[in-house]
Structure 1
Protein backbone atom coordinates (compact mmCIF):
# COMPACT_ATOMS: atom_id res chain seq x y z
CA UNK A 1 0.00 0.00 0.00
CA UNK A 2 1.51 3.33 -1.09
CA UNK A 3 0.50 6.20 1.18
CA UNK A 4 0.02 9.52 -0.56
CA UNK A 5 -0.16 12.56 1.70
CA UNK A 6 -2.82 15.02 0.55
CA UNK A 7 -4.35 18.08 2.13
CA UNK A 8 -8.04 18.25 3.07
CA UNK A 9 -10.40 18.81 0.10
CA UNK A 10 -7.68 17.91 -2.40
CA UNK A 11 -8.37 17.18 -6.03
CA UNK A 12 -6.45 13.94 -6.59
CA UNK A 13 -6.23 12.84 -10.22
CA UNK A 14 -5.29 9.25 -11.01
CA UNK A 15 -3.81 9.34 -14.50
CA UNK A 16 -2.12 6.97 -16.92
CA UNK A 17 -2.49 5.15 -20.19
CA UNK A 18 -5.91 3.80 -21.15
CA UNK A 19 -5.97 0.22 -19.83
CA UNK A 20 -3.21 0.84 -17.24
CA UNK A 21 -5.49 -0.15 -14.36
CA UNK A 22 -6.82 3.16 -13.05
CA UNK A 23 -10.36 1.85 -12.45
CA UNK A 24 -9.01 -1.22 -10.61
CA UNK A 25 -6.74 0.97 -8.45
CA UNK A 26 -9.61 3.36 -7.66
CA UNK A 27 -11.89 0.52 -6.60
CA UNK A 28 -9.32 -0.64 -4.03
CA UNK A 29 -8.18 2.82 -2.87
CA UNK A 30 -8.10 3.43 0.89
CA UNK A 31 -9.05 6.97 1.85
CA UNK A 32 -8.51 6.41 5.56
CA UNK A 33 -12.13 7.23 6.31
CA UNK A 34 -11.90 10.74 4.89
CA UNK A 35 -15.07 11.83 3.09
CA UNK A 36 -14.28 11.17 -0.57
CA UNK A 37 -16.07 11.44 -3.88
CA UNK A 38 -14.69 8.96 -6.43
CA UNK A 39 -15.32 9.94 -10.05
CA UNK A 40 -14.55 7.35 -12.70
CA UNK A 41 -15.62 7.59 -16.34
CA UNK A 42 -16.55 3.91 -16.04
CA UNK A 43 -19.42 4.94 -13.72
CA UNK A 44 -20.82 7.12 -16.52
CA UNK A 45 -20.21 4.48 -19.19
CA UNK A 46 -22.05 1.86 -17.14
CA UNK A 47 -25.05 4.14 -16.56
CA UNK A 48 -25.28 5.11 -20.24
CA UNK A 49 -24.80 1.51 -21.39
CA UNK A 50 -27.77 0.50 -19.25
CA UNK A 51 -29.91 3.38 -20.54
CA UNK A 52 -29.10 3.15 -24.27
CA UNK A 53 -30.11 0.46 -26.76
CA UNK A 54 -27.89 -2.63 -26.43
CA UNK A 55 -27.06 -2.64 -30.13
CA UNK A 56 -25.45 0.80 -29.95
CA UNK A 57 -21.65 0.39 -30.02
CA UNK A 58 -19.68 2.26 -27.35
CA UNK A 59 -17.74 4.26 -29.96
CA UNK A 60 -20.97 6.15 -30.80
CA UNK A 61 -21.54 7.43 -27.28
CA UNK A 62 -17.93 7.63 -26.02
CA UNK A 63 -17.85 11.45 -26.53
CA UNK A 64 -20.97 11.75 -24.36
CA UNK A 65 -19.32 9.62 -21.65
CA UNK A 66 -16.33 11.99 -21.59
CA UNK A 67 -18.51 15.10 -21.57
CA UNK A 68 -20.66 13.84 -18.68
CA UNK A 69 -17.59 12.63 -16.75
CA UNK A 70 -15.86 16.00 -17.01
CA UNK A 71 -19.07 17.83 -16.13
CA UNK A 72 -19.35 15.66 -13.01
CA UNK A 73 -15.76 16.55 -12.06
CA UNK A 74 -16.57 20.27 -12.23
CA UNK A 75 -19.91 19.82 -10.43
CA UNK A 76 -18.46 17.85 -7.52
CA UNK A 77 -15.40 20.11 -7.27
CA UNK A 78 -17.72 23.04 -6.74
CA UNK A 79 -20.38 21.35 -4.57
CA UNK A 80 -18.67 18.63 -2.50
CA UNK A 81 -17.13 21.28 -0.30
CA UNK A 82 -15.78 19.05 2.48
CA UNK A 83 -14.76 15.97 0.49
CA UNK A 84 -11.62 14.81 -1.20
CA UNK A 85 -12.13 14.34 -4.92
CA UNK A 86 -10.47 11.23 -6.35
CA UNK A 87 -10.73 11.41 -10.14
CA UNK A 88 -9.93 8.96 -12.94
CA UNK A 89 -8.66 10.73 -16.07
CA UNK A 90 -5.87 9.58 -18.45
CA UNK A 91 -4.51 13.17 -18.53
CA UNK A 92 -1.85 12.53 -21.15
CA UNK A 93 -3.00 15.68 -23.00
CA UNK A 94 -1.67 18.97 -21.64
CA UNK A 95 -5.08 20.58 -22.21
CA UNK A 96 -6.74 17.97 -19.97
CA UNK A 97 -4.24 18.57 -17.16
CA UNK A 98 -4.64 22.35 -17.57
CA UNK A 99 -8.45 22.02 -17.45
CA UNK A 100 -8.19 20.04 -14.23
CA UNK A 101 -5.90 22.72 -12.76
CA UNK A 102 -8.54 25.33 -13.63
CA UNK A 103 -11.18 23.20 -11.87
CA UNK A 104 -8.90 22.96 -8.82
CA UNK A 105 -8.26 26.70 -8.77
CA UNK A 106 -11.95 27.59 -9.24
CA UNK A 107 -12.93 25.28 -6.38
CA UNK A 108 -9.95 26.33 -4.23
CA UNK A 109 -8.63 22.76 -3.96
CA UNK A 110 -5.05 21.63 -3.50
CA UNK A 111 -4.07 19.46 -6.47
CA UNK A 112 -2.17 16.16 -6.39
CA UNK A 113 -1.36 14.13 -9.50
CA UNK A 114 -0.98 10.33 -9.25
CA UNK A 115 0.57 8.67 -12.31
CA UNK A 116 -0.12 4.97 -12.78
CA UNK A 117 2.99 3.84 -14.62
CA UNK A 118 2.34 0.96 -17.01
CA UNK A 119 4.10 -0.12 -20.16
CA UNK A 120 2.17 0.18 -23.42
CA UNK A 121 2.01 -3.64 -23.49
CA UNK A 122 0.50 -3.79 -19.99
CA UNK A 123 -2.02 -1.07 -20.86
CA UNK A 124 -3.00 -2.78 -24.11
CA UNK A 125 -3.41 -6.02 -22.19
CA UNK A 126 -5.70 -4.18 -19.76
CA UNK A 127 -7.81 -2.92 -22.65
CA UNK A 128 -8.14 -6.46 -24.00
CA UNK A 129 -9.08 -7.79 -20.56
CA UNK A 130 -11.86 -5.22 -20.10
CA UNK A 131 -13.06 -5.75 -23.67
CA UNK A 132 -12.74 -2.12 -24.75
CA UNK A 133 -9.93 -1.34 -27.14
CA UNK A 134 -9.30 2.24 -28.15
CA UNK A 135 -8.27 2.98 -31.74
CA UNK A 136 -4.62 2.20 -32.41
CA UNK A 137 -3.87 5.76 -33.58
CA UNK A 138 -5.41 7.23 -30.43
CA UNK A 139 -3.55 4.75 -28.22
CA UNK A 140 -0.30 5.58 -30.06
CA UNK A 141 -0.78 9.29 -29.25
CA UNK A 142 -1.40 8.46 -25.58
CA UNK A 143 1.77 6.30 -25.55
CA UNK A 144 3.95 9.03 -27.12
CA UNK A 145 2.73 11.66 -24.67
CA UNK A 146 2.99 9.27 -21.70
CA UNK A 147 6.60 8.42 -22.54
CA UNK A 148 7.59 12.09 -22.18
CA UNK A 149 5.51 12.50 -19.01
CA UNK A 150 6.94 9.40 -17.35
CA UNK A 151 10.46 10.88 -17.33
CA UNK A 152 9.19 14.07 -15.74
CA UNK A 153 7.05 12.30 -13.12
CA UNK A 154 9.60 9.68 -12.10
CA UNK A 155 11.97 12.60 -11.57
CA UNK A 156 9.50 13.97 -9.00
CA UNK A 157 8.44 16.97 -11.10
CA UNK A 158 4.66 17.46 -11.00
CA UNK A 159 2.81 18.84 -14.00
CA UNK A 160 2.48 22.62 -14.18
CA UNK A 161 -0.17 23.84 -11.71
CA UNK A 162 -0.09 20.72 -9.51
CA UNK A 163 1.22 20.69 -5.93
CA UNK A 164 2.62 17.17 -5.98
CA UNK A 165 3.09 14.00 -8.00
CA UNK A 166 3.22 10.34 -7.00
CA UNK A 167 4.14 7.51 -9.36
CA UNK A 168 2.55 4.09 -8.79
CA UNK A 169 2.87 0.78 -10.60
CA UNK A 170 0.13 -1.74 -11.38
CA UNK A 171 1.25 -3.74 -8.34
CA UNK A 172 0.82 -0.81 -5.92
CA UNK A 173 -2.27 -0.03 -3.88
CA UNK A 174 -3.28 3.55 -3.12
CA UNK A 175 -3.88 4.96 0.35
CA UNK A 176 -4.69 8.64 0.74
CA UNK A 177 -3.48 10.13 4.00
CA UNK A 178 -5.00 13.53 4.78
CA UNK A 179 -2.52 15.87 6.42
CA UNK A 180 -2.95 19.40 7.76
CA UNK A 181 -0.19 20.98 5.73
Structure 2
Protein backbone atom coordinates (compact mmCIF):
# COMPACT_ATOMS: atom_id res chain seq x y z
CA UNK A 1 0.00 0.00 0.00
CA UNK A 2 1.64 3.25 -1.05
CA UNK A 3 0.94 6.55 0.60
CA UNK A 4 0.48 9.94 -0.97
CA UNK A 5 1.50 12.73 1.35
CA UNK A 6 -0.50 15.92 1.02
CA UNK A 7 1.48 18.84 -0.39
CA UNK A 8 0.52 22.18 1.23
CA UNK A 9 -0.77 24.86 -1.11
CA UNK A 10 0.68 27.64 1.01
CA UNK A 11 -1.56 30.03 -0.09
CA UNK A 12 -21.03 18.67 9.79
CA UNK A 13 -27.05 13.00 14.20
CA UNK A 14 -24.84 10.29 13.45
CA UNK A 15 -21.10 10.12 13.40
CA UNK A 16 -18.95 7.08 13.90
CA UNK A 17 -15.62 6.54 15.58
CA UNK A 18 -13.17 4.59 13.48
CA UNK A 19 -11.00 2.10 15.31
CA UNK A 20 -7.46 1.78 14.06
CA UNK A 21 -6.81 -1.19 11.79
CA UNK A 22 -3.34 -1.98 10.54
CA UNK A 23 -2.99 -1.89 6.78
CA UNK A 24 -2.56 -5.25 5.12
CA UNK A 25 0.84 -5.40 3.41
CA UNK A 26 -0.57 -7.84 0.87
CA UNK A 27 -2.74 -5.02 -0.46
CA UNK A 28 0.28 -3.07 -1.68
CA UNK A 29 -0.05 -1.61 -5.12
CA UNK A 30 -0.13 1.68 -7.05
CA UNK A 31 -2.73 4.20 -5.94
CA UNK A 32 -1.62 7.17 -7.99
CA UNK A 33 0.72 10.06 -7.35
CA UNK A 34 0.79 12.48 -4.45
CA UNK A 35 -1.58 15.39 -4.16
CA UNK A 36 -0.17 18.19 -6.25
CA UNK A 37 -1.56 21.68 -6.18
CA UNK A 38 -2.38 23.53 -8.37
CA UNK A 39 -2.21 20.83 -11.04
CA UNK A 40 -4.21 17.89 -9.75
CA UNK A 41 -4.18 14.67 -11.72
CA UNK A 42 -6.40 11.61 -11.39
CA UNK A 43 -5.33 8.64 -9.33
CA UNK A 44 -4.34 5.70 -11.50
CA UNK A 45 -6.91 2.95 -11.84
CA UNK A 46 -6.45 -0.08 -9.65
CA UNK A 47 -4.43 -2.84 -11.31
CA UNK A 48 -6.42 -5.53 -13.02
CA UNK A 49 -6.46 -9.04 -11.64
CA UNK A 50 -8.30 -11.21 -9.17
CA UNK A 51 -6.81 -9.63 -6.05
CA UNK A 52 -8.50 -6.86 -4.09
CA UNK A 53 -7.98 -3.29 -5.20
CA UNK A 54 -5.50 -1.38 -3.00
CA UNK A 55 -6.89 1.41 -0.84
CA UNK A 56 -6.41 5.05 -1.68
CA UNK A 57 -4.08 6.39 1.01
CA UNK A 58 -4.10 10.02 2.16
CA UNK A 59 -1.81 11.42 4.85
CA UNK A 60 -3.46 14.10 7.02
CA UNK A 61 -1.02 15.51 9.58
CA UNK A 62 -2.29 17.39 12.60
CA UNK A 63 -5.84 18.61 13.22
CA UNK A 64 -7.66 18.24 9.92
CA UNK A 65 -10.97 18.10 8.07
CA UNK A 66 -11.18 16.01 4.89
CA UNK A 67 -14.06 16.78 2.53
CA UNK A 68 -14.96 13.79 0.34
CA UNK A 69 -16.95 15.37 -2.49
CA UNK A 70 -18.33 14.63 -5.95
CA UNK A 71 -21.54 13.97 -7.83
CA UNK A 72 -24.31 12.02 -6.09
CA UNK A 73 -23.56 8.42 -7.03
CA UNK A 74 -19.89 9.12 -7.68
CA UNK A 75 -18.78 6.52 -5.12
CA UNK A 76 -18.25 8.55 -1.94
CA UNK A 77 -20.11 6.08 0.28
CA UNK A 78 -18.27 3.19 -1.37
CA UNK A 79 -14.98 4.89 -0.62
CA UNK A 80 -15.89 5.50 3.03
CA UNK A 81 -17.37 2.03 3.56
CA UNK A 82 -13.86 0.58 3.61
CA UNK A 83 -12.29 3.42 5.59
CA UNK A 84 -9.16 2.61 7.59
CA UNK A 85 -8.30 5.54 9.85
CA UNK A 86 -6.65 6.41 13.15
CA UNK A 87 -8.68 5.79 16.29
CA UNK A 88 -11.14 8.57 17.11
CA UNK A 89 -11.58 9.79 13.55
CA UNK A 90 -15.07 11.24 13.12
CA UNK A 91 -16.92 10.35 9.92
CA UNK A 92 -19.98 12.32 8.81
CA UNK A 93 -21.75 10.26 6.13
CA UNK A 94 -25.11 11.50 4.83
CA UNK A 95 -26.08 7.91 4.08
CA UNK A 96 -25.66 7.01 7.73
CA UNK A 97 -27.80 10.00 8.71
CA UNK A 98 -30.53 8.89 6.33
CA UNK A 99 -30.41 5.33 7.66
CA UNK A 100 -30.86 6.48 11.26
CA UNK A 101 -33.80 8.70 10.37
CA UNK A 102 -35.38 5.90 8.34
CA UNK A 103 -35.32 3.67 11.41
CA UNK A 104 -36.93 6.38 13.54
CA UNK A 105 -39.73 7.18 11.09
CA UNK A 106 -42.70 4.96 10.15
CA UNK A 107 -41.59 2.21 7.77
CA UNK A 108 -43.72 3.47 4.87
CA UNK A 109 -42.29 7.00 4.95
CA UNK A 110 -40.85 7.83 1.47
CA UNK A 111 -37.41 9.37 1.42
CA UNK A 112 -38.53 12.61 -0.36
CA UNK A 113 -40.72 13.34 2.67
CA UNK A 114 -37.71 13.58 4.97
CA UNK A 115 -34.92 14.49 2.55
CA UNK A 116 -34.83 18.01 4.00
CA UNK A 117 -34.46 16.60 7.51
CA UNK A 118 -31.61 14.36 6.38
CA UNK A 119 -29.75 17.30 4.90
CA UNK A 120 -30.38 19.52 7.92
CA UNK A 121 -29.32 16.85 10.41
CA UNK A 122 -26.22 15.94 8.43
CA UNK A 123 -25.05 19.53 8.16
CA UNK A 124 -25.66 20.14 11.85
CA UNK A 125 -23.52 17.08 12.59
CA UNK A 126 -20.76 18.42 10.39
CA UNK A 127 -20.70 21.70 12.30
CA UNK A 128 -20.66 19.92 15.68
CA UNK A 129 -17.84 17.56 14.69
CA UNK A 130 -15.73 20.23 13.00
CA UNK A 131 -15.78 22.31 16.17
CA UNK A 132 -15.30 19.28 18.40
CA UNK A 133 -12.21 17.58 19.84
CA UNK A 134 -11.59 14.85 17.23
CA UNK A 135 -8.20 15.17 15.58
CA UNK A 136 -9.50 14.17 12.14
CA UNK A 137 -12.98 14.76 10.73
CA UNK A 138 -14.14 13.25 7.42
CA UNK A 139 -17.14 14.90 5.76
CA UNK A 140 -19.27 13.31 3.01
CA UNK A 141 -21.00 15.93 0.86
CA UNK A 142 -21.54 16.40 -2.89
CA UNK A 143 -20.20 19.97 -2.49
CA UNK A 144 -20.42 20.62 -6.21
CA UNK A 145 -21.32 24.27 -5.47
CA UNK A 146 -18.34 26.56 -4.77
CA UNK A 147 -20.20 28.20 -1.87
CA UNK A 148 -20.56 24.83 -0.11
CA UNK A 149 -16.86 24.07 -0.42
CA UNK A 150 -16.06 27.60 0.78
CA UNK A 151 -18.34 27.06 3.80
CA UNK A 152 -16.58 23.78 4.64
CA UNK A 153 -13.17 25.44 4.41
CA UNK A 154 -14.33 28.29 6.64
CA UNK A 155 -15.80 25.83 9.15
CA UNK A 156 -12.56 23.88 9.21
CA UNK A 157 -10.53 27.01 9.88
CA UNK A 158 -12.99 28.06 12.59
CA UNK A 159 -12.40 24.72 14.28
CA UNK A 160 -8.62 25.11 14.02
CA UNK A 161 -8.35 22.51 11.27
CA UNK A 162 -6.48 22.34 8.00
CA UNK A 163 -9.03 21.73 5.20
CA UNK A 164 -8.27 18.97 2.68
CA UNK A 165 -10.29 17.98 -0.40
CA UNK A 166 -10.74 14.54 -1.96
CA UNK A 167 -12.71 14.95 -5.18
CA UNK A 168 -14.33 11.98 -6.93
CA UNK A 169 -14.31 12.88 -10.59
CA UNK A 170 -17.09 10.78 -12.14
CA UNK A 171 -18.95 11.18 -15.43
CA UNK A 172 -22.69 11.93 -15.02
CA UNK A 173 -23.76 8.65 -16.65
CA UNK A 174 -21.53 6.66 -14.29
CA UNK A 175 -22.90 8.61 -11.31
CA UNK A 176 -26.45 7.83 -12.46
CA UNK A 177 -25.54 4.15 -12.63
CA UNK A 178 -24.25 4.45 -9.08
CA UNK A 179 -27.52 6.06 -7.97
CA UNK A 180 -29.57 3.25 -9.51
CA UNK A 181 -27.29 0.67 -7.90
CA UNK A 182 -27.88 2.16 -4.45
CA UNK A 183 -31.64 2.44 -5.10
CA UNK A 184 -31.85 6.20 -4.62
CA UNK A 185 -31.92 8.48 -7.66
CA UNK A 186 -31.61 12.26 -7.56
CA UNK A 187 -34.31 14.13 -9.45
CA UNK A 188 -33.31 15.09 -12.99
CA UNK A 189 -33.23 18.87 -12.58
CA UNK A 190 -31.13 18.98 -9.39
CA UNK A 191 -28.82 16.33 -10.82
CA UNK A 192 -28.30 18.34 -14.00
CA UNK A 193 -27.29 21.31 -11.85
CA UNK A 194 -24.91 19.08 -9.87
CA UNK A 195 -23.39 17.84 -13.15
CA UNK A 196 -22.78 21.35 -14.47
CA UNK A 197 -21.16 22.44 -11.23
CA UNK A 198 -19.10 19.25 -11.00
CA UNK A 199 -17.70 19.87 -14.47
CA UNK A 200 -16.76 23.40 -13.46
CA UNK A 201 -15.15 22.08 -10.28
CA UNK A 202 -13.08 19.52 -12.17
CA UNK A 203 -11.91 22.25 -14.54
CA UNK A 204 -10.99 24.49 -11.60
CA UNK A 205 -8.98 21.71 -9.97
CA UNK A 206 -7.07 21.04 -13.16
CA UNK A 207 -6.43 24.75 -13.69
CA UNK A 208 -5.33 25.28 -10.10
CA UNK A 209 -7.96 27.97 -9.47
CA UNK A 210 -9.64 26.07 -6.59
CA UNK A 211 -7.70 27.68 -3.77
CA UNK A 212 -7.87 27.61 0.00
CA UNK A 213 -7.23 23.87 0.55
CA UNK A 214 -4.21 22.56 2.38
CA UNK A 215 -4.15 19.74 -0.16
CA UNK A 216 -6.28 18.40 -2.99
CA UNK A 217 -6.57 14.79 -4.13
CA UNK A 218 -8.57 13.62 -7.15
CA UNK A 219 -9.74 10.12 -8.07
CA UNK A 220 -12.57 8.33 -9.87
CA UNK A 221 -14.90 5.37 -9.23
CA UNK A 222 -12.22 2.81 -10.07
CA UNK A 223 -9.83 4.49 -7.65
CA UNK A 224 -12.50 4.30 -4.93
CA UNK A 225 -13.04 0.53 -5.19
CA UNK A 226 -10.38 -0.35 -2.63
CA UNK A 227 -11.62 2.08 -0.01
CA UNK A 228 -9.80 4.87 1.75
CA UNK A 229 -6.97 4.73 4.29
CA UNK A 230 -5.96 7.75 6.35
CA UNK A 231 -2.63 8.19 8.09
CA UNK A 232 -0.89 10.85 10.11
**TM over 0.5, yes or no?**
yes
How far the C-alpha of 1:87 sits from its partner, in A, is 0.9
Higher CA-based Rg: 2
Q: Of 85, 92, 114, which aligns to 2:166?
A: 114
Aligned with 1:90: secondary structure? coil
Asked if 1:69 is matched to 2:112, the reply is no
Larger relative CO (CA 8 A, sep 6+): 1 or 2?
A: 1
SS at match of 1:137: helix
The residue that corresponds to 2:179 in the other structure is: 127
| 1:14 pairs with 2:65 | no
Paired residues, number: 175
Consecutive unaligned residues of structure 2, counting only runs of 5 or more, are 1-54
Report the 3-state secondary structure (helix = DSSP H, G, I; strand = E; otherwise coil) of the residue aligned with 1:101: helix
Paired position in structure 2 for 1:4 = 58
Match of 1:164 in 2: 215
- Structural RMSD (CA): 1.5
Paired residue secondary structure (1:132)? coil
Cα shift at 1:177 = 2.5
Q: Gapped runs of 5+ residues in structure 1? A: none
| Structure with more helix by fraction | 1
Match of residue 89 from structure 2: 36
Per-residue CA deviations over 1:121-151 (Å, capped at 9, x if unaligned) read 1100010011111110000000001111112
Looking at structure 2, the residues matched to 148 and 77 of structure 1 have their Cα atoms a distance apart, in angstroms, of: 27
Residues 154 and 176 from structure 1, CA distance in 2 versus in 1: closer, same or farther, beyond 3 angstroms? farther
- Aligned equivalent of 2:28: none
Q: State the Cα deviation string for residues 15-39 of structure 1 (Å, max 9, x = none).
A: 00001110110111222x3531111
Q: Which digits, 9 at most, give the CA deviation of each residue in 1:88-119, with x for residues without a partner?
A: 00000122112111211110100000001111
Is 1:56 aligned to residue 103 of structure 2?
A: no
Distance 1:77 1:158 in 2: 25
Residue 158 and residue 110 in structure 1: after superposition, are their counterparts in 2 closer, same or farther (change >3 A)?
farther
C-alpha distance 159-48 of structure 1, shift in aligned 2 (>3 A)? same
Q: Report if the CA contact (8 A) 1:37-1:85 is conserved.
A: yes
**After superposition, what is the alpha-carbon deviation per residue over 1:51-75, rounded to whole angstroms, capped at 9, x for unaligned?**
1112221111111101110100110
8 Å CA contact 1:21–1:116 kept in 2: the answer is yes
